[in-house]
Amino acid sequence: MAISKRVRALEPLLLEELKRFPVLKGIPTEYFLAYIAAESGGDWAGDETKIGRDKKTGELKHEKGLFRVYGVGRRSDHLTDAEFAAITTSKVLSMRYGLKAVASTVGRVAKVLGSDASNTPDFLYYLKLHHGLPKYVNLIGKYAVKYFGGPPPSFDHAEAYILELAKDAPHLFSDPGHTWGAEKTITRIFANAKKVGTVLGDSIKSLERRDNSVRVALSRLLALKDAKPLDVTALRREHDALGRLLSLEST
């Protein structure tokens, strides 16, 4: 899954809004772009994703905004009522409050890992898993950490543990109308969390390839600049080619 031009165009806004949330410092920018790509595709004002009704209140459960922030009715666990209501009123607020929702989960996820190493791949997987289903993260923190004597050795170990726990203690997953303990559901939600990591890796590789092309083009340009006699036509051609590379957005 690639990051589209539409999502890539949000990067300047993302960088500006990240300044508001020091707790997110150290997490690669590409991760947030991948998160947006997976959740909304950059559609900040589109239709809300409806995900059923709350079993207690009967209110609609849904997600909205760039990061598809979760809420019930007009409320959200992560945002104030006013912030949740405003999340689809402007691109800036959709980015700002989406990042605030992500920031609110960092502390909880750090407790599961036993550290605040927010730039490790597993941390980023858990952060996305918390969005998919907080129940799994809470169960990992409550049971898996005791079983392993610390954080699971890898995200795959965490998934395997949850699969076994669902078989041995299905009551921990009981929720009328839902199948949180079903193998297919667990595998799907863990796969979604890992998908963002895959997008992150692909995007970094894409940027590395582009950076290498820029270095090669710059070397040719410098070589032409110092050549005797000076080939103005070739120099202009390489200059234009370098300009196109620098303005090219990854897809």
pLDDT tens, position by position, 181-209: 999 999 999 998 888 766 655 555 555 56
70 sits in which H/E element: strand 69-72
pLDDT tens, position by position, 29-64: 888 998 899 889 999 987 666 676 777 777 877 888
- pTM of the predicted model, to two decimals? 0.71
Q: How many domains does the structure of the chain reveal? A: 1
pLDDT tens, position by position, 226-248: 777 777 777 777 777 767 666 65
Q: What is the spatial distance between Cα 145 and Cα 116, in angstroms, rounded to a whole number?
A: 15
Question: Where do we find the tokens 């691109």?
Answer: 91
Q: Which of 82, 90, 101, 81 is nearest to 39 (CA)?
A: 101
CA atoms within 13 A on the CB side of 2: 9
182: left (phi over 0), alpha (psi -120 to 50) or beta: beta
Query: What pLDDT, on the 0 to 100 scale, is given for residue 168?
Result: 95
Query: What pLDDT, on the 0 to 100 scale, is given for residue 113?
Result: 75
What residue numbers bound the domain in which 160 lies? 5-247
Q: From the CB of residue 251, how many other CB atoms can be counted at a distance below 10 Å?
A: 11
